A and B are shown apart, each in its own frame.
Chain A
C-alpha cells in the first residue's frame, strides 16, 4: 500500500503524460502480482466497494487527538484525509491489539530488547521519547513531560520507522491487495477498527492514499486509457490490444500481466455481449483536404443523435443476451427496453440512436426528452419511438470484424441489417461523391443528395477511409467528421459574471445581446450567455475590459457599458436556434461560444434581432409545441 501510495503521490504532482506513463510502467515492473493488478484496477476505476463516510474518519481522529489541535490543523490543510494522514498519532496502548491476526514481526537486532520492553509495558510513561528519536540530538535534561507527547508528540517518529520496516516493531503495513480484498468483505461495523489498524501501520502517504481510497475520493488526474497504455508498455504491446480484451478480464488481472510478460496466452473475452471500445473521428480542417484522395474515402451523414453500440451474443446455454452501450461503455439497455427485442441476431452494431416518427428522424431536442429518465413509461416509449441507424459492424456472430477494412465491414453490415429485417434498425446511407467539391455541395444541402426528409437531423458528414480497421480511440487520418458551419452573429457584451474554480478571479461568463427597436429607439436585448471559446489571453483582455468599463454591480454580476459607440462586440458562434418563450428576445441559442473579439467593431454595427429571426425561419422547427 505504501508503494502504491508513493506512485499516486508522484502522479499527482507530475504534469507530463509521458512522464506519468514512465512512473506507472515503472511501478508495474517493480511490483508483483496481485498488488499491481489492484493498482491497475484503482487507476482505471474498476474497483468497487462500499465507501466510508467522512464522519467516520472524523470520529477516528477525534479519538486520538486533541480537538483544538485537530481543528487548527484542518483549517490549515483544508482536506480531511490529508489532515488525518499527516497528524495521525500511533497508538501505544493499542499496539498489542494490532498484533492479533498478524504474524510476529521479525526481531530487530538493534531494538529487540527495547521492543519487548515496550510491548510488555503498555501503560505508564517510558523513556521512549529518546529511543524513538533516532537521528536527532539526544535531549539530555530529564523532564516530567518527556515521553508524554500528546497530539502525537514523540510517537510521530513512527512515521519515520515505517520507511524502514526492518527497523521497527510494528506489524508490516498492509499491501494494496490486503486493503482491497478486506474492504470488499468487511461489514460496516468492523470498518472503523480495521481502518484504525491500517492507519497505525502505514506511513503518511500510505494513510493519505488509504483514506482517499476508502472515501471514494481518489482523484489522480490520469485516464483509464493512460493506465492501460502504461500496462501495455510492460510487454511492448499496443494499448489497443488491451482495450479489446479489457471487458473480459477482472482485477487483479493475473492473466493480463502473464501475457504482457510473455508468460501466458492472451486472455480472451468471455462476456457474451461485451462492449468494444469506440473508434472516434477527428474534426477535419480546410487544410486537410489537400492531402486526402476522395477515392480513399466513403462518406455518410453525421446524425444528430447519440452514438451507441448495440451488442447481442449467445450465453453458455445458447440464449441471446442483448445490451446497449453508450460511447463510453456505460450499459444503457435499461433506458431503451423497446430496442432490445430487435437485437436478436448475434453481432455488434455501431450506430446512432434516434427518435423516428412516421419514418422521419426527429431533432436532438426531441431525443433529449427520452434521455436520462428514471422510469421508462409505456407512454414515453410510444411518444418517443426509438430507432437505431447502423453505420458499422464490429462483430458478426462469433467473428470479430474489427481487423477488416471499413469497406468490407460495411458490406457485412448491409447483409446483417437485411437479415435482421427489423423496422427499428436501418442502414445509414452512404453519400456518393466524386470530388471534394461534390461533397461540399452535398454537405450544404443534404436533402437533395439522399437525406431527403431526414436532412434536418443531419449535422454534417463523416468521412471514413475504405481500408481503415476499427481502432479504439481517435487514430489520426482514419475517420473525419465534417460538421456544417456554425451560425455566427456579432453581439454586444452586456453583463459579465465571475467564473468558478480556476477562473474564480476572472469575469468569464458573458451575457450578450443584439439590437432591436424599442420604445425610445434601438436597444440591446440579451440573446444568450457564453463562457468559453476564447483563449486564455483573450480572457485576460475581456476581464480587463470588464473591470474598467463596469457601470453597475449586482452581487457577482457586473453591468458592462453597452452603447452605440461604447462597448465590446463579441462574435458568437452557435449550432442552432429555437424559439423560447422564456427569453425576452424570444430565441435561444444552442451551444453558443465566443469565436472572436471584435475590438474593431463599434457596438452599433452589431447584428439585429431580425437577423436571428430570419435564421429561425430557415431553421427547422426544433421544438414540437
Chain B
C-alpha cells in the first residue's frame, strides 16, 4: 500500500532538507477547515471540503463528505460509505493500525483511540517532532473496538468533551446492571434506551450480552445499518430485531435501542408504559438528565472522563498539550498547573454528534 496513492504522497518531497528544529505549529496549525498539516499537504478531520483529508473516526462531526482524497481506517471509510453513499469522496485509501505512511515531509501513523470501531489517533512526525492528534478517545474498555493505545509524543492534541472534574464515569458494566435491575422491577414496561447510533448503541448491546442477557434486543430503524455493519466486522451482538411492526404487548419487559431524539417522540407511543433511559456521559449531571426527561440515566460514555484525560495527558510524556473541543478552559488550567505548556485550539464544528438535538444527515444522529 505504501506509495500507492500518488495524490497522497510526493508533492512536498524534497523540502525536508533544513536541519533547524521544527516548531510544532509548523507541522500542524488550526485553520478554518480544521487542523492543517502544511508539510504533509492534508487536513485532519476537516469540517469543510478539502483536497486531502485524514480522518480519525466515523462520527459525522469528524468524518464529512465531499473531500478530494480520504485516508482513514477501513472501518471509518466503510461507515462513511454507509452514511454518505458510494461517492462520499474523490478517492479513498485505507490504513491499518500501526501502519506508517509518508505524506510530503511528514510520516503519518494510525493508533487505536478506543472511541468507536475503527477510531484512530493520528501520529504526525516531522524530523524529530511527534504530534499525536487523538481525535475522540477513551481509555475505558469497550468490547466493540480495539483498546486505546498510549503513544508517547512531544505534543498531544486532546479533546475535552468531559474536561471537568465532575465527570467521572464509573464502570459501564454497573450502569448496564442498573438497566437490567429496572427491567426486573418493571417487567410489564418496555425499556427504551437512547444511545448514539454509531458506537454507543453497539457498546450497550455488547455490555448487555456480557452480563449474560440473552433475550432479543430491539432496534429503532435508524440503528439497523450501522449495527449490522458492526456484526459484519465480527462483533457478536446476539439476536437483534427491528422494533417496527412488533405488537405493543409483546414489547413488555424488552429492551429497545433508539437514537436519543426518538425517545421523546410520538414514536414511543408504540411501547407499553416505557421507561426512558439514556446512555451518555452527560447523564452524570442531574440537570442534563432531567432536561431531557430521562427516567433512567446511564452514565456510559465513549469519551475519556476527567481522570482518563488527565492520566492520559500525563502518561504521553508530552511537554505541550493542545486542547480541542469541549471544556478546554479547565483542562488547559490543569495542564498548566502541572507545569505543562498548554493552549486551547479554537477549532469549531466538533462535538456536534453528541450535542445535536435534532437528527441530521441520514437521520440517525442525535
Binding site for B on A (CB under 8 A): 10, 12-16, 19, 22-23, 26, 65-66, 68-69, 72-73, 76-79, 82-83, 86-87, 89, 129, 133, 135-137, 139-141, 143, 145-146, 148-154, 156-157, 159-160, 163, 204
Are A129 and B311 within 8 A (Cβ)? yes
Partner of A13, one of B170, B295, B312: B295
Are A160 and B170 within 8 A (Cβ)? yes
Are A152 and B334 CB-contacts (below 8 A) given A136-B139, A136-B140, A139-B311? no
Q: How far is the CA of A72 from the CA of B166 in the complex (A)?
A: 10
Are A163 and B307 CB-contacts (below 8 A) given A66-B337, A150-B338? no
Are A204 and B168 CB-contacts (below 8 A) given A78-B287, A150-B338, A152-B306? yes
Which residue on A lies nearest to B164, using beta carbons? A73
Are A135 and B140 within 8 A (Cβ)? yes
Are B295 and A153 within 8 A (Cβ)? no
Which residue on B lies nearest to A70, using beta carbons? B165
Are A137 and B141 CB-contacts (below 8 A) given A13-B297, A69-B164, A79-B286? yes
* Shortest distance between the CB of A325 and any CB in chain B (Å): 36
Residues of A near B150 (CB, < 8 A) are: 137, 139-141
Q: How far is the CA of A150 from the CA of B338 in the complex (A)?
A: 9
* Shortest distance between the CB of A129 and any CB in chain B (Å): 7
Are B164 and A153 within 8 A (Cβ)? no
Residues of A near B286 (CB, < 8 A) are: 12, 79, 82
* Shortest distance between the CB of A169 and any CB in chain B (Å): 18
Are A13 and B296 CB-contacts (below 8 A) given A23-B185, A86-B284, A136-B140? yes
Are A145 and B338 within 8 A (Cβ)? yes
Indicate the member of B167, B171, B296 with the most A CB atoms within 10 Å.
B171
Q: How far is the CA of A73 from the CA of B290 in the complex (A)?
A: 18
Q: Which of B52-60, B217-225, B313-321, B345-353 sits within the interface?
A: B313-321
Q: How far is the CA of A293 from the CA of B330 in the complex (A)?
A: 72
Residues of B near A137 (CB, < 8 A) are: 114, 139, 141, 147-150
Query: Does any Cβ of A come within 8 Å of B294's Cβ?
Result: yes
Indicate the member of A68, A83, A153 with the most B CB atoms within 10 Å.
A153
Are A133 and B333 CB-contacts (below 8 A) given A13-B297, A152-B306, A159-B170? no
Are A72 and B164 within 8 A (Cβ)? yes
Residues of B near A23 (CB, < 8 A) are: 185
Which residue on A lies nearest to B305, using beta carbons? A156
Residues of B near A65 (CB, < 8 A) are: 165
Are A133 and B285 CB-contacts (below 8 A) given A14-B295, A73-B165, A141-B150? no
Are A86 and B285 within 8 A (Cβ)? yes
Are B327 and A72 within 8 A (Cβ)? yes
Are A159 and B168 CB-contacts (below 8 A) given A69-B334, A72-B327, A146-B311? yes
Are B141 and A152 within 8 A (Cβ)? no
Which residue on A lies nearest to B315, using beta carbons? A139
Which residue on A lies nearest to B308, using beta carbons? A136
Residues of B near A15 (CB, < 8 A) are: 295
Residues of B near A82 (CB, < 8 A) are: 285-286
Q: How far is the CA of A139 from the CA of B327 in the complex (A)?
A: 24
* Shortest distance between the CB of A147 and any CB in chain B (Å): 9
Which residues of B323-362 are within 8 A (CB) of A?
A: 327, 329-330, 333-334, 337-338
Q: How far is the CA of A494 from the CA of B314 in the complex (A)?
A: 64
Q: How far is the CA of A14 from the CA of B277 in the complex (A)?
A: 11
Chosen A-B contacts, 23 in total, with CB atoms closer than 8 Å, are A22-B185, A69-B164, A69-B165, A69-B334, A72-B164, A76-B166, A78-B287, A86-B167, A86-B168, A86-B285, A87-B164, A89-B165, A133-B311, A139-B139, A139-B315, A141-B316, A145-B314, A150-B337, A151-B306, A152-B306, A152-B307, A156-B306, A160-B170
Which residue on A lies nearest to B177, using beta carbons? A163
Are A13 and B285 within 8 A (Cβ)? no
Residues of A near B297 (CB, < 8 A) are: 13
Q: How far is the CA of A83 from the CA of B285 in the complex (A)?
A: 9
Are A153 and B307 within 8 A (Cβ)? yes
